[in-house]
């Protein structure tokens, strides 16, 4: 079976995956590895945000419009010249790595989303290599492997499994599996410790046959990667961190695209299942303020639990609480609030939002470094620290002007 043909792009799931990535300047290729890489658009050595914006636009055109690598290289050259970037490696090699890895990762992430919608009737996945002499020995051993879609082997072995990996998967129905004569068989996972020979940094245990940083399922969503990604952002130098957080508000439309249907599904279901969703990121001003107040956030993400959404939806039925329409658009509201305040009496961040048709303001209370239980890649619940939206309500605007109670971090009241 042929490998991923990047010329087959676009399809919406692949496009969405790429556009949900946040631009992050990095010095080295291993600054962001594994699951945090799925959240970030990085180019090793590219530390100027404006440069990354231009390179990202060139990759986006390749994914969304199917532009060729020749066209990509032309736009890459323009970006390099415009920003005066002196990169390492040859032009041909560097552009091929950026082009192929981004397109293949987006394609397989989009493919994974499609597989989730068909797994009830096509419950198996089969691993395929391209079958030529360039296939790595380990990948060749996995060729034709058949496992259920939900088997955790795919958590680490869903292609691509390394730099330049061209492997792919296809789905199978029970009847197709029986006709093929193939049997479900789980390859053994042998972990090997990887070390950066140049720095001595220990990367940890990585499955044999998979490159460092590629031992994750590019399309599988967990809250853990969001929080870990937010932790990486907060560990960046202040100027770089603020540049990343400034760009984070551009992700609001993509977060809303997933959040609004989730809220509707919760309302229809009428009960919480312990789910958690990311609704945004702290702004540079909020992150800086919290550090100065001695409440430095461990992660940059802002999340909400389905339990808290349900409470606010029920409360929205009376005229003292946040309208349901405002709840549905929470990622957009977090990205562009009227103001953000610090509650001096009960330490928390307040996002102040216009409430349509109301003479009051909507407020959402975010607890910083709040401990919650989140489902991990092992499908178990683990304690994590996040910035959690805990409650919402309506408040008279003049009450928000009480200097003894609140301090404005950004915006106006």
Give residues with Cβ within 8 angstroms of 208, minimum separation 6. 138, 189, 190, 191, 192
**pLDDT band of 2, cuts 50, 70, 90:** very low
Q: How far apart are CA 97 and CA 104, in angstroms?
A: 11
**b/e burial code for range 148-159 (CB count within 10 A of at least 16 → b):** ebeeebbbbbbb
353-379 pLDDT tens trace? 988 766 788 999 999 999 987 665 555
**pLDDT band of 224, cuts 50, 70, 90:** low
Angle (CA) 106-384-248 rounded to 5° is 45
Q: How far apart are CA 159 and CA 217, in angstroms?
A: 7
Question: Is position 215 within any domain?
Answer: no
Backbone phi and psi for residue 206, each to the nearest 5 degrees, phi listed first: -130, 135
Question: Is position 401 within any domain?
Answer: yes
Q: Is the pLDDT of residue 34 over 80?
A: no
Q: How far apart are CA 281 and CA 249, in angstroms?
A: 7
Last residue of one domain, picked from the residues 159, 182, 207? 207
- Regarding whether 309 and 166 lie in a shared domain, the answer is no
Calculate mean pLDDT across residues 256-260.
Answer: 91
Inter-residue long-range contacts of 173-178, CB under 8 Å, 24+ positions, other chains counted: 173/121, 173/122, 173/123, 173/124, 174/123, 174/124, 176/122, 177/124, 177/146
- Regarding whether 309 and 247 lie in a shared domain, the answer is yes
Last residue of one domain, picked from the residues 207, 236, 268? 207
Q: Is the pLDDT of residue 9 over 70?
A: no
Going by C-alpha positions, the residue among 225, 363, 365, 238 that lies closest to residue 292 is: 238
Mean pLDDT of the chain: 88
Q: Is the pLDDT of residue 35 over 80?
A: no
- Regarding whether 178 and 99 lie in a shared domain, the answer is yes
Distances (CA, A) of 344 to 293, 294, 349, 371: 11, 13, 9, 21
Q: By the 8 A CB rule, do 387 and 366 touch?
A: yes
Q: Is the pLDDT of residue 255 over 60?
A: yes
pLDDT value for 237: 87
- Regarding whether 24 and 155 lie in a shared domain, the answer is yes
Provide the residue range defining the domain that includes 292. 223-411
Distances (CA, A) of 150 to 48, 232, 345, 379: 40, 28, 47, 11
- Regarding whether 163 and 286 lie in a shared domain, the answer is no
Question: Is position 252 within any domain?
Answer: yes
**Residues 397, 399, 402, 407: what is their CA dihedral angle, to the nearest 10 degrees?**
-60
Question: Is position 218 within any domain?
Answer: no
pLDDT value for 272: 86
pLDDT value for 271: 86
Q: By the 8 A CB rule, do 279 and 302 touch?
A: yes
Question: Which has the higher per-residue pLDDT, 254 or 28?
Answer: 254
- Regarding whether 56 and 192 lie in a shared domain, the answer is yes
Q: 116: which DSSP letter?
A: H
Question: How many independent structural domains does the chain possess?
Answer: 2
pLDDT value for 221: 53
ω into residue 160 within 30 of 0, thus cis? yes
**Which residue do the tokens 């603020």 mark?**
242
pLDDT value for 398: 84
- Regarding whether 279 and 307 lie in a shared domain, the answer is yes
Calculate mean pLDDT across residues 25-51.
Answer: 81
317-338 pLDDT tens trace? 556 678 888 889 999 999 999 9
Give residues with Cβ within 8 angstroms of 58, minimum separation 6. 72, 75, 76, 79
- Regarding whether 199 and 109 lie in a shared domain, the answer is yes
- Regarding whether 311 and 262 lie in a shared domain, the answer is yes
Q: Is the pLDDT of residue 254 over 50?
A: yes
Q: Which of 31-35, 139-143, 251-255, 384-388 is predicted with the least confidence, judged by mean pLDDT?
A: 31-35
Q: Is the pLDDT of residue 57 over 70?
A: yes
146-186 pLDDT tens trace? 999 999 999 999 999 999 999 999 999 999 999 988 899 99
Question: Is position 351 within any domain?
Answer: yes
Question: Is position 28 within any domain?
Answer: yes
- Regarding whether 321 and 388 lie in a shared domain, the answer is yes
End-to-end alpha-carbon separation of the chain, Å? 61
- Regarding whether 390 and 348 lie in a shared domain, the answer is yes
Question: Is position 213 within any domain?
Answer: no
Q: Is the pLDDT of residue 408 over 80?
A: yes
Question: Is position 216 within any domain?
Answer: no
Q: Which of 109-113, 134-138, 156-160, 201-205 is predicted with the least confidence, judged by mean pLDDT?
A: 201-205
**pLDDT band of 380, cuts 50, 70, 90:** low
Last residue of one domain, picked from the residues 207, 240, 273? 207
- Regarding whether 195 and 292 lie in a shared domain, the answer is no
pLDDT value for 4: 41
Q: Is the pLDDT of residue 1 over 50?
A: no
Backbone Cα Rg of the chain: 23
């Amino acid at each position: 079976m042929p490998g991923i043909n990047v010329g087959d792009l676009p399809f919406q799931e692949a496009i969405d995956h790429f556009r949900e990535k946040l631009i992050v300047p990095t010095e080295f290729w291993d600054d962001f590895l594994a699951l945090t890489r799925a959240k970030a658009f990085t180019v090793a050595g590219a530390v100027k945000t404006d440069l990354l914006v231009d390179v990202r636009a060139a990759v986006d055109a390749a994914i969304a419009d199917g532009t060729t690598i020749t066209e990509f290289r032309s736009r890459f050259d323009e970006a390099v010249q415009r920003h005066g970037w002196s990169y390492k490696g040859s032009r041909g090699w560097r552009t091929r790595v950026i082009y192929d890895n981004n397109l293949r990762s987006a394609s397989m992430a989009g493919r994974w989303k499609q597989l989730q919608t068909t797994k009830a009737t096509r419950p198996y996945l089969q691993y395929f290599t391209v079958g030529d002499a360039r296939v790595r020995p380990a990948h060749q051993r996995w060729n034709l492997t058949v496992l259920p879609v939900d088997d955790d082997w795919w958590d680490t072995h869903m292609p691509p499994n390394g730099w330049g990996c061209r492997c792919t998967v296809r789905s199978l129905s029970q009847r197709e599996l029986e006709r093929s004569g193939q049997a479900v068989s789980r390859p053994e996972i042998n972990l090997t410790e990887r070390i950066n020979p140049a720095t001595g940094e220990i990367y940890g245990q990585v499955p044999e046959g998979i490159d460092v940083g590629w031992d994750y399922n590019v399309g599988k969503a967990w809250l853990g990667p969001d929080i870990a990604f937010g932790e990486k952002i907060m560990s960046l130098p202040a100027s770089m961190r603020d540049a990343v957080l400034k760009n984070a508000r551009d992700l609001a439309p993509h977060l809303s695209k997933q959040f609004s249907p989730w809220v509707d599904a919760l309302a229809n279901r009428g009960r919480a299942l312990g789910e958690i969703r990311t609704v945004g990121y702290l702004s540079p001003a909020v992150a800086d303020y919290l550090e100065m107040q001695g409440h430095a956030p461990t992660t940059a993400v802002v999340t909400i639990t389905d339990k808290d959404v349900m409470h606010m939806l029920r409360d929205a039925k009376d005229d003292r609480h946040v309208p349901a329409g405002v709840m549905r658009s929470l990622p957009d509201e977090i990205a562009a609030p009227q103001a953000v305040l610090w509650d001096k009496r009960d330490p928390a961040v307040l996002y102040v939002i216009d409430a349509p048709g109301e003479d009051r303001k909507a407020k959402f209370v975010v607890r910083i470094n709040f401990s919650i239980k989140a489902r991990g890649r092992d499908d178990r619940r683990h304690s994590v620290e996040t910035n959690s939206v805990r409650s919402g309500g309506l408040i008279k605007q003049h009450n928000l002007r009480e200097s003894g109670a609140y301090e404005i971090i950004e915006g106006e009241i």
